[in-house]
């Protein structure tokens, strides 16, 4: 059971380049989300999805796009990378957003550097 799989593990971009961070889960979870983790800032929610075809913004959505065409996949797109987007990105899933005790299952992250 792979859980949540993120690719790539590391990425270096130049300012203005675009890229897609991939996230896939094999647990049939309805809820998926993207976080960024920065020193001293903790985990901040970028975008989330409560099911295929449904996405919504989190705390820090600017500069990022998402789509959810299948239950399994939730890619995060950077349209024009900026140095401020240098961070570690985590994808997480859970079986339901509505359950107050639903735990998140995290991937192992993508470390992105924008020069």
**Least gap, CB of 15 to other proteins (angstroms):** 26
The Cα 78–Cα 80 span in angstroms is 6
Residues 92, 35: contact at Cβ < 8 Å?
Answer: yes
Cβ nearer to other proteins, comparing 14 with 98? 98
Q: Does 28 bind other proteins (CB under 8 A)?
A: no
Cβ nearer to other proteins, comparing 64 with 90? 90
Binding mask 68-97 for other proteins (x = CB under 8 A): ----------------------x-x----x
73's CB contacts (< 8 A; 6+ apart) are: 22, 23, 24
Backbone angles phi and psi of 19, in degrees to 5: -165, 165
Cβ nearer to other proteins, comparing 19 with 50? 50
Two tokens, residue 58: 């989190």
Site residues for other proteins per CB under 8 A: 4, 35, 40-45, 90, 92, 97-109
């Amino acid at each position: 059971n792979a859980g949540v799989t993120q690719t790539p593990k590391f990425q270096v971009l130049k300012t203005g380049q675009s890229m897609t961070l991939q996230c896939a889960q094999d647990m049939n979870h309805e809820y998926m989300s993207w976080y960024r983790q920065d020193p001293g800032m903790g985990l901040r929610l970028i975008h989330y999805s409560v099911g295929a075809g449904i996405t919504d913004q989190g705390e820090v959505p600017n500069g990022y796009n998402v789509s959810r065409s299948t239950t399994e996949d939730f890619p995060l797109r950077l349209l024009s990378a900026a140095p401020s987007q240098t961070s570690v990105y985590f994808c997480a899933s859970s079986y339901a957003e509505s359950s107050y005790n639903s735990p998140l299952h995290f991937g192992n992250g993508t470390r992105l550097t924008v020069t």
